[in-house]
Chain A
Amino acid sequence: MRIVVAVKQVGALGDEVEFTDDERDVAPEYLEFALNEWDSYATEEALRIRERLGEGEVVVVTAGDEEAEQALRRCLAMGADRATRVWSDALAGADPITVARALAAPVRVEEPDLVLAGVQSSDSIQSATGTALAELLELPRVAVVTKVDYDHAARRATVHRELEGGLVDVVEVATPALLTIQTGINEPRYATLRAIKQAEQKEIQVVDPDDLGEPPDRVRRMFVPPRGEGAEMLDGSPAEIAQRIAEIVRESLKA
């Protein structure tokens, strides 16, 4: 039994922002990098399935430069068995479908029983890589999963698909399949210091991508959205602000 988890090292904005010279992305020195939140849930879910079955292997795969190995090592420290990184400079700032094309070969070679990915990444917010990857691997897929009941012997999984408005769609899917995992499905474990140290020593396989095809879009420019039409800001001491809030609340409730 083998589960592959596709993960991403994401960038979060700090207090200030500057763009690259071509204005097509945020300059990397203004980003703080970490494992995508959704992917920590996906990794945890893979580990739990492995533990429940009492056998099997969890392999984490990412498309990213050397910096992205941090994300893989975090997953290794949580308990993943192996890690693969696929990269070429053509993947810098790539869209999710191109990333899926890069991930397809290293995932396929693992002949996985399940492929898990996060629903979305916090920096691109496209909710697309997982589903596109499933298509390229010709796998059935379910997006936005909040519960997985995997029957390895029967080669199927019964999963909860989280719809809008607090409704769940119970779906039965043939496996191998790809599931995109939603936050809250589990409680991701913390890695012990010892596990983090051991993960530092593990070898990460690095491979080149296959043909990436034509990208589906191009970022023309990024910019800070214009402000001004937003909220009326309340200034002053906490006591003064509380006073104003109290007035606004009372006034608005009368309406």
Chain B
Amino acid sequence: MNGVLVVAEHLRGRVRDVTRELVSAGRDLGGPVEVAVIAKDPSSLADAVNVEGVDSILNVAVEQEEFENDVYQQAVEALVRERRPDVILLGFTVNSMGYGPALAAKLGLGFASDVFSLRREDGALVVERAFYGAKINAEIEFPGKSQVLLLLRPTAWPPAEGQGSASVSDFSVSIGESRARHVEFVEVAASTDVDITQVDFLLSVGRGIGDADAIRQFEGLAAKMGATLSVSRPIVDAGWMPASRQVGQSGKTVKPKVYLAFGISGAVQHLAGIKASGTIIAVNTDPDASIFTVAHYGAVVDLFDVAEELEKLF
């Protein structure tokens, strides 16, 4: 095979959206697209990955129901050696971070992560990714590499839709020891707190608000405006608000009618979590904040001055 191998990602018996996004990216590259499903009962998931654009599906049966680094690494290594794809696509996800770079190091593959654009130039792969707090973009090439493993940014491609007509076959692997074993899942963000994924209006604050006292001030403003207060990751890391209020990939993906952000510069993971919002308004003191690339309205101004003025209007 000289084409694209997509490694399906699944959790608790469900294929994750990023898998169908990888299919779209693979199809953009011209395919053929082969999807590997590594699971205890891969055939139960094969339907969910049989979408338009998939040419073939490989069921890779392993003992483990859920993801484990060593299992995935050994299975994908076998696939890379035997199927000879020239591009291997994984999501830029916590699972892939656990084995993708390791496999690239072991096999001497070309490698890049958090890739949001890819193309071929005269047959050679060229991808784009960001550096320096996502304020700078770069074109990356892979001279001398016949196989390249990429971790693609979630939500950068639309998920492939529609019933596919892929051929399905088994791919057998023998897996050795798994040294880091899944024990159980725990919902940390679960609580009796308000569900920020279900409200129409989120007022969201980030590192730019400065200190814990400012949280109370914006909580007051949110109450006046009829909004629910949500936060970006650094606020939860600092212990100023519970994880149930965290927006972003490691927190909640939200879809309010209005997302009003104060002092959030816009880490990639945060932006992925707010993309589905109706109207995004961002207030920040940094004119180069990356949140302005996804916001519908923006203002470069002192957060507290605007907050004070807004209080008078509601």
Task: Give chain A's interface residues, CB within 8 Å of chain B.
Answer: 11-13, 15, 17, 26, 31, 95-97, 100-101, 119, 122-129, 131-132, 134-136, 140-144, 158, 160-174, 177, 180, 183-184, 187, 213-214, 216-225, 227, 229-235, 238-239, 241-246, 248-249, 252-253, 255
Contact = CB atoms under 8 A, between A and B. Distances in A.
Contacts of A166: 187-190, 243-244, 246, 250-252
Contacts of B1: none
Contacts, number: 290
Contacts of B114: 125-127
Nearest to A171: B180
B218 to A, nearest CB: 14
B97 A241 contact: no
Contacts of A135: 101-103, 105-106
8 contacts: A12-B132, A166-B244, A220-B141, A224-B135, A225-B137, A234-B299, A248-B297, A253-B257
Nearest to B259: A252
B144 interface: yes
A216 B306 CA distance: 47
Chain A binding surface, main DSSP class: mixed
In the A-B complex, the 7 residue pairs with the smallest Cβ-Cβ separation, listed nearest first, are A166-B189, A184-B237, A242-B309, A140-B179, A231-B298, A128-B101, A135-B102
B281 interface: yes
Contact of B183 (A162, A170, A239): A170
Interface stretch (B48-56, B167-175, B288-296): B288-296
Given A231-B295, A252-B279, A220 B133 contact: no
A13 B133 contact: yes
B268 A172 contact: no
B249 interface: yes
A217 B140 contact: yes
A16 to B, nearest CB: 10
A238 to B, nearest CB: 4
A230 B233 contact: no
A134 B139 contact: no
Nearest to A96: B101
Interface string B249-280: 11111000110100000001000000000111
Contact of B105 (A12, A132, A225): A132
A6 to B, nearest CB: 13
B134 to A, nearest CB: 7
B185 A170 contact: yes
B98 interface: yes
Given A141-B98, A242-B313, A127 B140 contact: no
Contacts of B176: none
B42 interface: no
A239 B237 CA distance: 32
